[in-house]
Amino acid sequence: MTAGAGATGPRVLLRRLRELMADRGDAQKRLDQTVRLIAANMVAEVCSVYLMRQGKELELFATEGLKREAVHQTRLKVGEGLIGDIAENARPLMLDDAWSHPNFVYRPETGEEIFASMLGVPINWDGRVVGVLAVQNRKKRLYTEDEAEDLQTVAMVLAEMIGSGVLVPREELKAALVPPRGPVRLSGLRLAEGLASGVAVLHEPRVEVHSLIAEDSGAERRRLHAAIEALRASVDAMLDSDDFAAGGEHREVLEAYRLFAHDRGWLARMEEAVGTGLTAEAAVRRVQEEQHARMQQVTDPYLRERLHDLEDLANRLLRHLMGIDQTAASGQLPEETVLLARNMGPAELLDYDRRRLKAVLLEEGSQTAHVAIIARALDIPVIGRLAGLLERVEPGDRLLVDADHAQVFARPTPDVMGAFAGAIAARAMRRAEYQKLRDRPAVTKDGVLVSLAINAGLLIDLPQLEATGADGIGLYRTELHLMVRSSLPDVDTQAEVYGKVLEAAGAKPVIFRTFDVGGDKAVPYFGGGGEENPALGWRAIRIGLDRPAMLRLQVRALIRAAAGRRLEVMFPMVSEVAEFDAAKRMLMREVKRHQATGGAPPAEIRVGTMIEVPALVWQIDALLRRVDFVSVGSNDLMQYLYAADRGNPRLADRYDSLSPGFLRLMRHLSRRCAAAKVPISVCGEMAGRPIEALALVALGITRLSMTPTTVGPVKAALLALDAASLGREIEKRLDSPLRSLRPLLEELAAKEGIPI
């Protein structure tokens, strides 16, 4: 099975391995024969198999070339040595001088000191690393990519042998991967908010691929092509369904998904695997395992999401090949189902009965994941990045899902279940009470009228404008449309989206923020990745001014969409007045261009900026002479003011937006804007938390924009507020050395009966 052996070598080896697997003799003897066979075919002096045991240790189970007495004696922890490194990172290692690698660990009982080069690959079973297969040679030798791929194919065959339980009892193998059962609390990332209780259901029980080695590669290739055609037809049928007739982001997600089903590179890799002697099913599994290993190394959220789509497609393709429909969607679901998955594609979520599906839990996933976009449209709570989810939760477990706080309680104790049931009931009651306030103006007890708007970013958010009774959209995040697409949408496409937003809002105002990409919002066709500190890097208006064509396309689309209506545009991440001037000039030039070509202009144009960078605060008077409004992005302003990464869990609670220092800053902005008669709003998280909203209104900031679910709680708090009285209490303490005024404000709210 050397690089020059062609496809015949792998096929011969696989055939012999199949014969060994079919033998009913002693499992250890079969494994010993296997390593001898692999060593001979790889022209290697050593071939070794390590398997996972309890305690996350890898035990040497068989070897050809190392000392026999080391078998079942030598153990390495996951992450220890080269073998442990392969297991920990689930990726191959090809080394021509293993001893020089920083992770090399010498075990004298093996006698491996005379071997220089090494090629090792993980053995994966049920999506987990259960062992490592490695070959070694005395001389320094650089193994080829073909040899690495061949060894991975052999590891796949070994995995099925291991998974059958003939080498290590399946219960013991699972015990090495799954910790003891008992109540567990997991924390992750909120992808779609809500509370739910239900029974754990594994989205995708492993599709067992028993037939690995093919007799007729031509027939397998034809089977693969037939299954691909069936897969494509099923995706087309999904797009033709009534659910997607109206368009929107969820349709765009599936359109991108369909492109992957037609990807020639994906098909070519599977055809190559069939050419080595694998069945069509085994070829799909092999390519899928490679993609999953590659996914673990990808940090770009956009690219990871596309790899997730490919994994979803591979699962569907396997089911087409095997003539089965083996996701949980095809079976009888519990009345209250909480779905568990490593990740899911958007199409898979739509297969489920929405009446029974209460929540979705993912080991991976991001806020821009395609499945999260679909879930938000269906009002299904989702939590992602739950490390160890599939190891620590079993099908049938009772689960309590608090997606608002991104927490999951598995196998909860009776007292926790009782408390959670109370929380769900209380939430329902509060929602009913908030709904009664829907049409009531947010006026404080002393007569201060507060405007409550919502933050939005997708067309599926727009019904919330009516449902909450909000006064408008105080922040429309236009960049979210980019993050579900594979290329920059043209003017016509953007104008259509913006037009739908304005139409849905009717007479209510909409403030469009221009693209705020970069940082943690990766869009590959803008470039700029790989920065050491992306939060302080090339993002938002900096990209817009450096790539004026992109910003011009967007403002052209906004101008066209707002013909005859009011257009409000806001620029993000402005650090100095000169940047605002440059961006506004570009906007006004495009207005003149639009009119010169016969286009109907907006009835009114208002231009503002986000205040997120502290430097802009000290240019506030010059800025206010130029803008029609400003909006404070409290999240970023806090981050930059305190030099504290808001994504760092060690710093998450270190600094408080209700600290005297930050409140003094907000008071300064409020007073300067009032003197200049320029409206100021807050659109960060601070606006949507009742206690912070009370402080902002008390400081004179009466325009707030927030996530839709927080409109009710904030309005209820404001209706019970005496703004002038609270303002006086805050003023007394702005020179205080206290870390936060939060305890004081909570005490005052409790005294006055203000619900917070």
CA 461 to chain centroid: 19
Nearest by Cα to 460 from 367, 376, 360, 347: 376
Phi-psi region of 249 (alpha: psi -120 to 50; beta: other; left: phi over 0): alpha
Give the pLDDT confidence score for residue 235 in this predicted structure.
Answer: 75
How far is Cα 200 from Cα 411, in angstroms, rounded to an integer?
A: 10
How far is Cα 517 from Cα 543, in angstroms, rounded to an integer?
A: 8
Per-residue tokens: 338: 């909480």
Give the pLDDT confidence score for residue 2 in this predicted structure.
Answer: 43
Pairing of strands 473-477, 357-362: unpaired
Q: What is the DSSP string of 498-536?
A: HHHHHHHHTTS-EEEEPP--BTTB--GGG-----SSGGG
Starting at the edge strand that comes first in sequence, how are the strands of the sheet with 46-53 ordered? Answer: 75-77, 57-64, 46-53, 128-137, 117-125, 93-95
**SS3 category, 252:** helix
How far is Cα 68 from Cα 61, in angstroms, rounded to an integer?
A: 10
Nearest by Cα to 10 from 119, 130, 122, 148: 148
Give the pLDDT confidence score for residue 126 in this predicted structure.
Answer: 66
Taking a C-beta distance cutoff of 8 angstroms, is the pair 630, 680 a contact?
yes
Nearest by Cα to 564 from 537, 538, 593, 594: 594
CB atoms under 10 Å from CB of 352, counted, come to: 22
Nearest by Cα to 717 from 437, 472, 454: 437
Query: Tokens 């990519």 belong to which residue?
Result: 145
Give the pLDDT confidence score for residue 7 in this predicted structure.
Answer: 38
Taking a C-beta distance cutoff of 8 angstroms, is the pair 681, 704 a contact?
yes
**Exposed (0-12), middle (13-18) or buried (19+): which is 717, by Cβ within 10 Å?**
buried
Taking a C-beta distance cutoff of 8 angstroms, is the pair 222, 229 a contact?
no
How far is Cα 164 from Cα 402, in angstroms, rounded to an integer?
A: 37
Give the pLDDT confidence score for residue 6 in this predicted structure.
Answer: 39
Instruction: Kindly report the backbone phi and psi dihedral angles of residue 89, in degrees, each rounded to the nearest multiple of 5, phi listed first.
Output: -100, -5
Q: Which helix (H) or strand (E) holds 728?
A: helix 723-732
How far is Cα 550 from Cα 478, in angstroms, rounded to an integer?
A: 13
Which residues are bridge partners to 450 per DSSP? 442
C-alpha distances (whole Å) from 197 to each of 153, 332, 335, 421 are 42, 18, 11, 8
**Dihedral (CA of 252, 258, 263, 268) sign:** positive
Q: DSSP H helical segments within 298-353, as ranges?
A: 301-322, 346-349
Per-residue tokens: 748: 């005052």
Taking a C-beta distance cutoff of 8 angstroms, is the pair 150, 73 a contact?
no
**Catalytic annotation, pick one of 370, 481, 594, 673:** 370
Nearest by Cα to 718 from 738, 698, 746, 699: 698
Instruction: Kindly report the backbone phi and psi dihedral angles of residue 353, in degrees, each rounded to the nearest multiple of 5, phi listed first.
Output: -70, 110
Give the pLDDT confidence score for residue 3 in this predicted structure.
Answer: 39
For domain 206-326, is the CATH number 3.40.30.160? no
Which long-range contacts does 70-76 make (Cβ < 8 Å, 24+ apart)? 70/107, 70/109, 70/110, 70/111, 73/109, 74/107, 74/109, 74/110, 76/50, 76/105, 76/107
The CA angle 587-588-589, to the nearest 5 degrees, is 90
How far is Cα 226 from Cα 320, in angstroms, rounded to an integer?
A: 9
**Which residues make Cβ contacts (< 8 Å) with residue 211, sequence separation at least 6?**
279, 281, 282
How far is Cα 249 from Cα 497, in angstroms, rounded to an integer?
A: 10
For domain 3-177, is the CATH number 3.30.450.40? yes
Give the pLDDT confidence score for residue 4 in this predicted structure.
Answer: 39
Instruction: Output Rg (C-alpha) for the chain, integer angstroms.
Output: 30
Which CATH code of 3.50.30.10, 3.30.920.30, 3.40.50.300, 1.20.1090.10 fits the domain covering 179-205+335-436?
Answer: 3.50.30.10
CA 64 to chain centroid: 43
C-alpha distances (whole Å) from 203 to each of 296, 313, 341, 675 are 20, 14, 6, 58
Taking a C-beta distance cutoff of 8 angstroms, is the pair 563, 602 a contact?
yes
How far is Cα 379 from Cα 394, in angstroms, rounded to an integer?
A: 25
Per-residue tokens: 522: 């990766």
How far is Cα 236 from Cα 239, in angstroms, rounded to an integer?
A: 5
Give the pLDDT confidence score for residue 194 in this predicted structure.
Answer: 85
| pLDDT averages per 10-residue partition of the chain, 756 residues | 44 73 73 88 91 83 92 91 89 89 88 88 80 92 84 82 66 58 84 88 73 81 88 75 55 66 80 84 80 61 61 77 72 89 75 88 73 73 86 87 90 87 83 88 96 87 88 90 71 92 94 82 57 74 88 95 95 95 96 93 96 95 97 91 75 83 96 97 91 96 91 94 95 91 93 89
How far is Cα 515 from Cα 492, in angstroms, rounded to an integer?
A: 17
CB atoms under 10 Å from CB of 597, counted, come to: 7
How far is Cα 285 from Cα 597, in angstroms, rounded to an integer?
A: 56
Taking a C-beta distance cutoff of 8 angstroms, is the pair 253, 484 a contact?
yes
Per-residue tokens: 438: 């829907």
Instruction: Kindly report the backbone phi and psi dihedral angles of residue 214, in degrees, each rounded to the nearest multiple of 5, phi listed first.
Output: -100, 150
Is-catalytic flag, 683?
Answer: yes
Give the pLDDT confidence score for residue 713 in this predicted structure.
Answer: 92
Query: Tokens 């879930």 belong to which residue?
Result: 375
**Catalytic annotation, pick one of 203, 308, 673, 683:** 683
Q: Give the fold, CATH level 3, of 472-608.
A: TIM Barrel (3.20.20)
Domain ranges in the chain are: 3-177, 179-205+335-436, 206-326, 472-608
**Exposed (0-12), middle (13-18) or buried (19+): which is 336, by Cβ within 10 Å?**
middle
